[in-house]
Amino acid sequence: MKLDTRLATDPDRSVARLYLSGALNTDTAPAFEQELQQVLASGMQLNVLDMRELDYISSAGLRVVFKAAKQAREAGQRLAASHRKPHIEKVFEILKALPDMAVFANDQELDDYLDAMQARSR
Amino acid sequence: MKASIASRLILSLTLSAGTIIAVALLLDYRISREEILERLRIDSQNTVVDVVQDLERMLRGIEGNTRFVGSIVSQRPGSEEELTRLLAETVRRHDDVFGATIALAPGQSHRREGFAPYYFKQGDGIAFADLAQGPEPYWQLPWFDDAASSGEPRWIEPYFDAGGADIYMTTYSVPVFTLDEQGRSQLYAVATADLTLAQLHRYLKRLELGKHGIGFLVSHDGLVLSSNTDAAQIQPYQDILPDADQQQFWLDMTNEAAPGVDTTRHGDCQVIAGHCIIRMTRLRHSGWVLGVIYSERDVLAQLRAYEYKVIALGLLCLAVMILVVNLVTRRITRPLTALALSADQLGEGHLDTPLPQATGNDEVARLVQSFGHMKEELKRHISDLEQATASRSRMEGELSAARDIQMAMLPQSGRASEHFDDVQLWATVESARTVGGDLFTYSLQGRQLFFAVGDVSDKGVPAALFMARCLSHLQHPGSTSPGRKLAELNNALVERNSNCMFVTLVLAVLDLDSLQLRYASAGHTPPLLLRDGHAASLLQDSGPATGLVADQSYPDNQLTLQPGDRLVVYTDGVDEAFNSAGDMFGHARLLQWLGSSAGQPLPAAGQRLIDDIGRFTDGAAQSDDITVLLLEPPRPHRARQHQRTFHLIPGVTGACLDWLAEVLGSQVPAQSRSELQLVLEEVITNIFKYSSLGEHDEVSVTLAIDDGEVRLTVRDAGIPFNPLEDGRRATLGADIDHAEIGGLGVHLIVQLTDWQRYCRDGNENCLELGRSLTTEKDRTGHR
């Protein structure tokens, strides 16, 4: 099982979206970690992991997400997850992963969140 | 130096020599003291005797002379001129006589004042005095009256001669009698001779013994002339001794004194300080007492000087002795000290340390020689030991390599677990020594499963070599019956077997379709069979052991296995395992184990038997090789089981998950499949990280699907690690600041399975996980 990623950035709204597709497991986690580091290093305010195509995540994958979330918080950025499939969400729930991490079920929720952010910054 | 031989020698020798010297000095002192005291006593006695003799001689001279003068006057009373001439002659010629007179009795002279011419020594010449011209009549004076009234010659008490010589003196008076006309004796005159006290004093001076000694003279009336006063001084003894007790003491003593007897007293005499010795005697003529007082301390002063001399000599001897002992012991112990230093060096392993030079043939030299000998022996011994150790470790290395080679000859390196369709086989060999003579083998030819278990006579390298030979003949079973195969093997082994090694063997063929078993035995222990919970030995027709005599026949035995049966082929190392008390594991324990193993997976049951034997022998040396082969036809309604081993190389998790997805196929719902994959990934990741295993090691994964339950068994030969307890678990639910990175996997394993079981099975970690398929629960982690 492989992991494919695609990055889309929106500098105007300072949003980076990383689309994950396939499996985030022990084998794919190290490469993904490097990739996520680069995404965070680009300095976007909000970094969203889009999991609509992600079929599988293991604790090794979650570990990478944890670590990145921690780093992002220290750098004043945010890391969020969106479009989790039910069994991915279940893994998150079992591990009570990141209760304060923002999650968006769909694009509408994400847009609402971004609008609210912009309204606050004005 | 403390407690060294030298110091102990010095101490003991000094103490003993000091004691000896002290005792000798004490004895010498006692003897010398007696001698000195005796000598002093004799000295003082001699002195007193000498003085007494001299004094008496002098007094006797004076007495004799005076009596002679008296006798002349008595026989020829002459004219006054003749008497005067006689007197002058007497004084001039007699040295000891100070002065002399012939005093006529009153009435014998025609003069009223009497007639008493007196001559005495004055300077070198003699002087004259007329005593008749004195202030009182001379016949009233003691020197005349005493003699005249007693009628006897006598010594007059000392007195001061006023009107004569004007000095202290004493006088010897002799009354002179003549016959009157009627023939009656009448006093005619008194003749006297004077003796000055100064003269007596000179004699007393000779009695001064020691520094404080005093000579003394006591008159009849107790007047004392003493050598420690002026020559002319006399005083009554009462003036000298004011104490009444002392007066009595002296009075008693002087009364006791008799002529020719030496009276001695010791004690406190008050006259001189301290303890004194008094000796006295009475003079024969005058009746005066002559004595001497001297201090004991004075006398003993000599003795004391002698003591000091002796003590100084003793101390000097001791000092010299200590010096000599010190030198001698140092000389003796110097090689010992050097030897001790060398011995320390030797003890630290420096065997080339030189030993001190010891000349001569004394104990120390012999000790040094012994040390030298010991050093050489040690060197030789250590060198021998090094060689022996080297050759032993080389041999151990070779034996270890031999064991590896031998084990490589056996299927799956001596510990096999395999499935042939649904028939499961498990076998193991535990060698008593590094290499051994037990063997097992199996192979599949078409639908025929061929297997054999054998036991070569003897153990160790010879058995291992013969076992290899035997094994090579068993590699190609061919299509003959087991009995014929055994006969062929026997003939092959008999050739070139001058050592008469032999093998007992069970050789069997199982038809996987019909489960029909044919087996033949060459003198081997019958196999065991577990059927319907009952364990028992199989009955068998057996031939002789192979390798001894050619052309033997081995009958075939037949048995049809049933599902649920369990067959055990073993060597006698199993039931004949001994513990340290000499008890045997025995057939009964073996059957008991087999009976209780029903329902237990085959590898676990086999491992339990090995563990049971290990516990029974409890560290006692394994006496024989142990080989067990277990065979189990499929159980009715058994689970479909899939097993696969994976090398622990990077990417092993991916391989595992792919395999799992494949074997699960569509038998289980997609969600369960995905979650089981997740569980397996976490388990394999844990092993990959924590088992300390390398790329050449394997992990075994077994998946069993049975009665709506999926059972996942993962085995690895890594260090003991129970992920359920030893694994790190992150605290869940923490916010991002406190969340731990890592330690999440175990949570997933526990939450996504129904039950988990870990055991350390032999040298393997065995993790079993079960998950029900029929009651898919809501696994949301809220349990």
Q: Are the beta carbons of A93 and B779 closer than 8 angstroms?
A: no
Tally of CB atoms within 10 A around B776: 12
- The pLDDT confidence band at residue A98, using thresholds 50, 70 and 90, is low
Q: What CATH number should be reported for the domain whose range is B414-632? A: 3.60.40.10
Q: Residue B782's pLDDT is what?
A: 39
Query: Which position has the higher pLDDT, B656 or B268?
Result: B656
Judge whether A91 is closer than 8 Å to chain B, CB to CB.
yes
Residue extents of the structural domains in chain B? 25-297, 369-409, 414-632, 640-772
Tally of CB atoms within 10 A around B27: 10
Q: How far is CA B518 from the centre of its chain?
A: 78
Q: Which of A16-25, B339-348, B717-726 has the highest mean pLDDT?
A: A16-25
**Candidates A1, A55, A66; nearest CB to B741:** A66
Listed in sequence order, the residues at least 6 apart from B225 whose beta carbon sits closer than 8 Å to its beta carbon are B158, B197, B200, B201, B204, B216, B217, B219, B233, B234
**Check whether domain A3-121 has CATH 3.65.10.10, yes or no:** no
Whether pLDDT at B776 is above 70: no
Judge whether A2 is closer than 8 Å to chain B, CB to CB.
no
- Cβ contact (<8 Å) for A58 and B685? yes
* Residues B679/B682/B683/B684 CA torsion (nearest 10 deg): 120
pLDDT 10s digits, B23-65: 888 888 788 778 877 887 788 788 888 888 888 888 888 988 8
**Candidates B681, B732, B737; nearest CB to A25:** B681
Q: With helix as H, strand as E and coil as C, how does chain A read?
A: CCEEEEEEEECCCCEEEEEEEEEECCCCHHHHHHHHHHHHHCCCCEEEEEEEEEEEECHHHHHHHHHHHHHHHHCCCEEEEECCCHHHHHHHHHCCCCCCCEEECCHHHHHHHHHHHHHHHC
CA dist., res. B409 & res. B590, Å (int): 28
What average pLDDT is seen over chain B? 84
CA dist., res. B142 & res. A45, Å (int): 164
What average pLDDT is seen over chain A? 85
Domains B25-297 and B414-632 share a fold: no
pLDDT 10s digits, B696-735: 888 999 988 876 788 899 999 888 888 888 777 777 766 6
- Cβ contact (<8 Å) for A60 and B685? yes
Helices A59-74, B670-690: inter-axial angle, 10-degree rounding: 80
DSSP code for B214: E
Whether pLDDT at B590 is above 90: yes
Judge whether B781 is closer than 8 Å to chain A, CB to CB.
yes
Q: Which range is least confidently modeled, A62-71, B224-233, B496-505?
A: B224-233
Whether pLDDT at B506 is above 90: yes
Listed in sequence order, the residues at least 6 apart from B642 whose beta carbon sits closer than 8 Å to its beta carbon are B663, B702, B703, B704
- Cβ contact (<8 Å) for B654 and A25? yes
Q: Residue B607's pLDDT is what?
A: 92
**Candidates B653, B671, B744; nearest CB to A26:** B653
CB pairs < 8 Å spanning A and B: 86
**Candidates B682, B730, B780; nearest CB to A90:** B780
CA dist., res. A22 & res. A32, Å (int): 12
The residue among B674, B740, B747, B751 with the most chain A CBs within 10 A of its CB, best to mutate, is B674
pLDDT 10s digits, B612-623: 999 998 888 887
Q: How far is CA B60 from the centre of its chain?
A: 88
Partners of B675 on chain A (C-beta within 8 Å) are 87
pLDDT 10s digits, B433-444: 777 789 999 988
Partners of B677 on chain A (C-beta within 8 Å) are 56
Residues pairing with B442 in the sheet: B451
**Candidates B657, B745, B780; nearest CB to A59:** B745
The percent of residues above 90 in pLDDT, for chain B, comes to 16
**Candidates B685, B735, B747; nearest CB to A94:** B747
Q: Classify each residue of B312-347 as buried b or exposed e, where b means 16 or more C-beta atoms within 10 Å of its C-beta.
A: eebeeebeebbeebbeebeeebebbebbeebeeebe
Whether pLDDT at A108 is above 60: yes
Q: How many angstroms separate the CA of residue A10 from the nearest CA in chain B? A: 26
Residues pairing with B530 in the sheet: B535, B566
Query: Which position has the higher pLDDT, B777 or B542?
Result: B542
Tally of CB atoms within 10 A around B514: 10
| Average pLDDT of the segment spanning A66-91 | 87
Q: How far is CA B502 from the centre of its chain?
A: 64
Q: Residue B707's pLDDT is what?
A: 64
- Cβ contact (<8 Å) for B678 and A69? no
B472 burial (CB, 10 Å; 0-12 / 13-18 / 19+) is exposed
- The pLDDT confidence band at residue B148, using thresholds 50, 70 and 90, is confident
Partners of A22 on chain B (C-beta within 8 Å) are none
What CATH topology corresponds to B25-297?
A: Beta-Lactamase (3.30.450)
Amino acid at A114: L
- Cβ contact (<8 Å) for A87 and B675? yes
pLDDT 10s digits, B639-681: 577 888 888 888 888 888 888 888 887 777 888 888 888 899 8
CA dist., res. B721 & res. B687, Å (int): 9
- The pLDDT confidence band at residue A49, using thresholds 50, 70 and 90, is very high
pLDDT 10s digits, B67-116: 888 888 888 777 788 888 888 888 888 888 889 998 888 888 888 888 88
pLDDT 10s digits, B623-637: 788 999 999 987 655
Q: Which of B298-312, B407-421, B434-448, B558-572 has the highest mean pLDDT?
A: B558-572
Q: Residue B568's pLDDT is what?
A: 95
- Cβ contact (<8 Å) for A101 and B736? yes
Q: How many angstroms separate the CA of residue B688 from the nearest CA in chain A? A: 11
Tell me how far apart the 2 most distant CA atoms of chain A are, in Å.
45
Whether pLDDT at A21 is above 90: yes
Whether pLDDT at B1 is above 50: no
Q: How many angstroms separate the CA of residue A43 from the nearest CA in chain B? A: 19
- The pLDDT confidence band at residue B775, using thresholds 50, 70 and 90, is low
pLDDT 10s digits, B459-470: 778 888 889 899
| Average pLDDT of the segment spanning B463-488 | 87
Q: How many angstroms separate the CA of residue A112 from the nearest CA in chain B? A: 23
- Cβ contact (<8 Å) for B682 and A58? yes
Q: How many angstroms separate the CA of residue B687 from the nearest CA in chain A? A: 12
Q: Are the beta carbons of B295 and B273 closer than 8 angstroms?
A: yes
Q: Which of B340-349, B418-427, B524-533 has the highest mean pLDDT?
A: B524-533
- The pLDDT confidence band at residue B606, using thresholds 50, 70 and 90, is very high
B-proximal residues of A, 27-56, CB under 8 Å? 27, 55-56
| Average pLDDT of the segment spanning B686-691 | 83
When the candidates are 3.20.20.370, 3.40.50.150, 3.60.20.10, 3.30.565.10, the CATH number that belongs to B640-772 is: 3.30.565.10
Q: Residue B428's pLDDT is what?
A: 93
Amino acid at B46: N
Judge whether A76 is closer than 8 Å to chain B, CB to CB.
no
Q: Are the beta carbons of B639 and B704 closer than 8 angstroms?
A: yes
Q: How many angstroms separate the CA of residue B732 from the nearest CA in chain A? A: 6
Judge whether A101 is closer than 8 Å to chain B, CB to CB.
yes
Q: Are the beta carbons of B199 and B165 closer than 8 angstroms?
A: no
